[in-house]
Amino acid sequence: MAVSRSVRRGLAALAVLVTLPALTTPVNAQEWSDPGASGGGAHRESGQLARSGATPAATRLATSDENRQAGDQTGYPRQTRLREFPENPDDKAIKLGLTPYHDIAPQLNELQERSDRVSAEVVGRSTQGRDLYLVTLTAPESPAEAARQARWRELIEDDPSAAAGNERLAREYKAPVWINANIHGDEWEGTDGALDVIERLATSTDEADSDLLESTRIYLTVTNNPDGRVAGTRANAAGFDVNRDHISSTQPESRAVRDVLIETQPLVMIDEHGYTGTTLIEPGTPPHGRDYEYDLYIKHAYENALGMERAIGKLGHDETERADIPFRDFEPGEWDDWPPIFTPMYSIYHGAVGHTVEVPLRVNRGEYEQLPVEELRRRSDINRDVAGATITSAIDYAKSNRAELIDDQIETFRRGWAGEPQREIPDGYVPGFGEEDRYSAEFPRAYVIPAGDDQRSASAAARLVDHLVAHDVRVSRAEHTFHLDGQRYPKGSYVVDMHQPKRGLANAMLSAGQDISGDVPRMYDISGWSLGLLWGATVDVSADEAPAVRTSPVAAAGPTGSLPPPAKADLELALTDGADVQAVTYLLDRGVEVTRGDDGTLVVPASARSEAATAADRFGVTFTKAGRGPAGTALAAPVIAAAASADELAVLRGLGFEVRPISTAVLNEGFEFDDVSALLVSTGLDHDALTAEAKRRLQAFLDDGGGVITRGGGGAAFNEAAGLLPVTAVEGRGDANGVVSVTDGEGGVLDRAPAHSFVYSPVWFTGLADSVTAEQRYARDPLVAGHWLPGEAAGGPAEAAGEASVVSGVSAGGTRTVLFGTEPMFRDHPKGLYAQVADAVFWATS
């Protein structure tokens, strides 16, 4: 069923109005809340686990409303008086002679006063609360003209066949171009290059620039990571690389630009980065994302890259005579465009020709500290010139090729609606295109996310549906029971009909993926991901048949939380999903007695039914009537000392655990374990480097019954050094990563674990003593999707096959310990694995 974006906005707005009164304050709101997210009944967002930042279209790009001046803002310019931040002399951009964050708003405010071509608004806030600016450059438009542009933009996606035949659209639709700058905080110059372009076009008296803004809208997110810009860090203030977050959208910075992308629907997109020695301009090397309409992308991407290379060559700097274009200049796998985690690659699925641009000369990290200021500023000036030249060249390409770019975006969406196969691309289609560049997908006819008893986790299913909708994937709900591929699906099941405009994105998110180990020798980053396998929900695939059932479009997933009758019965909760964990920690924080049985099932007394009802509503979890089994062990709210990465700390906090970050240095400085109940170790804790006093305090914690959970090679090394479980940890290839199949082991800690997991530098355990139990094992053919080459001597998937991926046991000193060889919290992505971590924590501390 085709539903226009404007109708979907209305449905989303209605969902907000219906559910808003029931909103409650999220746990750990400072770290986890999304100011732009709405409630969704019993599955409404509480941190990233419940809904992963799903933002209804009705609220997208509306953050600046509170700052907007009075008057008609529906045309252009739409000028906002941006709030100005106090001067910060410690802003790292100052040393480079670049624009500190506190100077951006004043510059934009002044330009808005001088020019009716400039519109500035706030489209989100960073982790630390700084404003994220979107600047729009265009000739003035009346409200009616702006509304017409919006209708055409929607028509291109919603009815591309009609758009293709609309002669007025072909003449008058303004080509949208989006520039994203400074997503990595310590890669500064994209912001300054963007500001230079804004000022030039805002004030130019050149007729060509006036003509450009009559036919083009240029959108610029001036700094996508202001916290990192100020601090001089690649990551945002939460420790996340925002340019690895687009398919998961866990961070406010990535959610903001996701919504900009969806609402502006650019033809061309540039992401400004640094520093690669020689300017680097995508398109990338193989493997190419298999779900793209690659023929429509590569012809523009290659020509646009050549144009940007010519532009930097005209700058006159020795350092900018040429560029590296990975498609042309690099070997397969060196700079690929395979995963949808990067901003430009993600943008391709929304109809854009996306490019990463890396300005050449390094000014961050060691160079920032060691080089003279004069040399740093010389380099930054050149980098700023490169950023401005590549932005200008890309805009010029969009103007010169406007008609073909519009036609090809229309064609991208038309193929999706029609369910047509991808096109076979011949050798030489662009210079150098050959067999090594051919990647394609067989799109299924539909995905079904079942309701009822066949759904592994209703809360996980709701989270997944909301996430898909937030990414502009169309989901519908069955109004009746139906049969598909011999299976019965109840009313309320969700359907992702793959005859839709953004089928490539839907498939990239939901499909299992592909093992590409034999295709390329290396990969730039991760090569396997799957929301369909790793997010905890049951997702079925129908290869050839669409459901024959009436459906209605989904703006937000239906409520999922419930309690059983009678009111006087004790309640049971199985830890199947992270939402279940959130419910448990919520109850424990409120003093509710929760007991854990030997099978891991949790029981809440009938006397706490009111608190359980609140948890069910808030987290969307389902309590059942407790059985008459033996009394379990009472749980206490765990306090976790964690030597872990930023993403792992975020997941633990999102689950509702109290977390105290530690490291070798922190322990050596006198950290006390007084009320800590669990120690989690994955990175940053070297047992051998601890002082004698730190080792004494650590050992006292272990002797006092503290539990231990470890992850990966760092955790395995700690286990050995601390003398906990007698196992041999085998480290697989350090460059291996992806989705793997796993099987149940012989233990009872991870009874409800899903059949798939995620690995990044996989580890497995051999030589298990009688006191150690395999909780989970790698399957006989473990790799489902990703890149995991055979090891030269060991370390490949064949060696991991059948070996223990997770083990548990009690050390000789009585310490309950769980060792993970998988990555259950990687980048806050594999959300269906989080309950395993909680199971390990609760078992180790009970």
What one-character-per-residue DSSP string does 137-152 give? E---B-HHHHHHHHHH
CATH architecture of 639-844: 3-Layer(aba) Sandwich (3.40)
- Burial (CB < 10 A; 0-12, 13-18, 19+), residue 792, is exposed
Residue 319 per-residue DSSP state: G
Instruction: Name the 3-class secondary structure at 510.
Output: helix
The CA-CA-CA angle for residues 532, 534, 538, to 5°, reads: 50
Helix (H) or strand (E) holding 286: strand 285-288
Q: Strands, E, within 345-474: which ranges?
A: 353-359, 446-449
Q: Which regions of the chain carry the CATH code 3.40.630.10?
A: 109-418
Instruction: Name the 3-class secondary structure at 507.
Output: helix
Q: How far is CA 626 from CA 563, 569, 602, 605, in A?
A: 11, 7, 9, 9
The CATH superfamily label for domain 109-418 reads Zn peptidases (3.40.630.10)
Instruction: Name the 3-class secondary structure at 5.
Output: helix
Question: What's the pTM?
Answer: 0.93
**In the sheet that 571-573 helps form, which strands lie side by side, from edge to edge?**
624-625, 571-573, 602-604, 595-596, 633-634
Q: Average pLDDT of each block of 10 consecutive residues along the chain (846 residues)?
A: 49 37 27 30 35 36 39 79 97 98 98 98 98 98 97 98 98 98 98 98 97 98 98 98 98 98 98 98 98 98 98 98 98 97 98 98 98 98 98 98 98 98 98 98 98 97 98 98 97 98 98 97 96 98 97 97 94 97 98 92 96 98 91 93 98 98 98 97 98 98 97 98 98 96 94 94 97 97 97 87 98 97 98 98 95
Q: Which regions of the chain carry the CATH code 3.40.50.880?
A: 639-844
Tell me: cis bond preceding 287? Omega within 30 of 0 counts: yes
Q: 263 an active-site residue?
A: no
User: How far is residue 177's CA from residue 353's CA, in Å, rounded to a whole number?
Assistant: 10
What integer pLDDT is reported at residue 101 of this predicted model?
98
Provide the CA 592 distance to its chain's centre, in angstroms: 34
User: How far is residue 2's CA from residue 240's CA, in Å, rounded to a whole number?
Assistant: 36
What integer pLDDT is reported at residue 794 of this predicted model?
77
Q: Dihedral, CA atoms, 319, 325, 330, 333, nearest 10 degrees?
A: 130
Selecting among 187, 411, 731, 823, the annotated active-site residue is 411
Amino acid residing at 8: R
Q: How many CB atoms lie within 10 A of CB 545?
A: 12
Contact predicate 274/535, CB 8 Å: no
**Pairing relationship of beta strands 633-634 and 595-596 according to DSSP bridges:** antiparallel
